[in-house]
Amino acid sequence: MLVENAKDYAIYMLDPQGNVITWNAGAELVEGYRAEEIIGKHLSTFFTPEDAARGMPQDFLKLAEREGKISNEGWRVRKDGSRFWSQGVITALHDEEGTLRGFSKIAHDITREKEAEEEIRHLNEHLEQRVRDRTTQLEAANKELEAFSYSISHDLRAPLRHIAGYIEILQGETADKLDQQAREYLQTVADSAKNLGELIDALLAFSRMGRVEMRRQSVSLAALVEEARRELQRDSEGRDIVWQIGKLPEVQGDAVMLRQVLINLISNALKYTRKRGQVKIEIGANELENEIVFFIRDNGVGFDMKYADKLFGVFQRLHNENGFEGVGIGLANVRRIIHRHGGRTWAEGKPDVGATFYFSIPKIQNGKERL
């Protein structure tokens, strides 16, 4: 018979008082009792002692009689004492006259599903705790970094300032007392101190860029280019420079950071064209569907495309000596800022012909920022 063999389900009948009168194979599996052991016993046998004492089985039966059918869920006890989570339905059975003849009960062991639910809930809580812990760790790391940067800013600068200061005083006081070689040594020390200073400043600016909050607003690239050019006036003074600046759109981004990007890129263009008679710097932008692509092209020393991917690394320099000063952090800063805006950076170059640097800024769609 179908009921007999429905293995996962306990299906049995109770008399009006709640005693078991029939028992199927599934019931034997779920509850653990064989038919001959359980027939005649009360429904409360399957409930936990606490629930039985509270009269829960009787309440269910009364409710079933009143409502006709009720579902119930809870911990039940097997023959061997072990607990399982049961989900079941009790249906009251009446004859044609309406007299209660008994009850049918179907119960399903969903302990595994219940445990899985518990596990998920537990994991979620655990996960949230881990996120909280991780956030705390990150905040602590950030604080450490700030303290570190601050310490550099103050502690390293002071002795460096003393070195630079006393070397210069020494150079002044011994100008005619030292021979050429000695004066060169002094100058080397002075230059190195200056170099070190720039390195520290660059590192600080770089680290600060990572810590600072981004403030998004509508930014005019055209205005930023002008500001950058003004700031770099000294580098372009007295030189033959042809500026070709196309129409530049507005973008969504952090004005201060983007200004730094432009200063770095234009400064590079000015620096690496220093050996050219006539300098040509072309600046423009293309508006694409999802982004704005900005470019700056110069006719300077260029670079070998073989090393293109090194350009934006920290302290990466493709032109070492030969009069190109700087510590090689400008482009790393550019990349970092543009990445924070959700954009990309790349470059093209040809040795002794020139270089073009590109960056993209995503357009904000429907007010949703893409971080």
Q: What does the binding site for another protein look like in residue numbers (CB under 8 A)?
A: 149-150, 153-154, 157-162, 164-169, 194, 197, 201, 204
CB of 111 to another protein, least distance (A): 58
- State which residue, 93 or 256, has the beta carbon closest to another protein: 256
Q: Which is nearer to another protein, 112 or 161 (CB)?
A: 161
In terms of CB distance, is 161 or 239 closer to another protein?
161
> What whole-number distance in Å separates Cα of residue 122 and Cα of residue 143?
31
Minimum separation from the CB atom of position 178 to another protein (A): 18
Q: What is the dihedral of CA 36, 40, 44, 47, to 10 degrees?
A: 10
Instruction: Give the residue with the Cβ less far from another protein, 87 or 192.
Output: 192
Nearest distance from residue 150's CB to another protein, in Å? 5
Least Å from the CB of residue 314 to another protein: 21
- Please provide the size of the chain in residues: 371
Nearer to another protein, 29 or 200 (CB): 200
Widest CA span in the chain: 131
**Element housing 62 (H / E):** helix 56-67
With CA atoms as reference, report the closest residue to 267 among 190, 369, 362, 357: 357
Residues whose CB falls within 8 Å of the CB of residue 90, separated by 6 or more in sequence, listed in order:
60, 61, 64, 69, 70, 71, 72, 103, 104, 105
**Contact between 13 and 21 (Cβ < 8 Å):** yes
Nearer to another protein, 107 or 257 (CB): 257
Helix (H, G, I), strand (E, B), or coil: what is residue 309? helix
Least separation in angstroms between CB 217 and another protein: 20
Nearer to another protein, 50 or 213 (CB): 213
Minimum distance of another protein from residue 176's CB (angstroms): 20
Considering Cα of 225, then 227, then 231, then 234, what sign does the dihedral take? positive
CA distances in angstroms from 287 to 94, 119, 250, 357, listed in the order given: 78, 51, 10, 16
Q: Considering the complex, what minimum distance in angstroms separates the CB of residue 158 from another protein?
A: 6
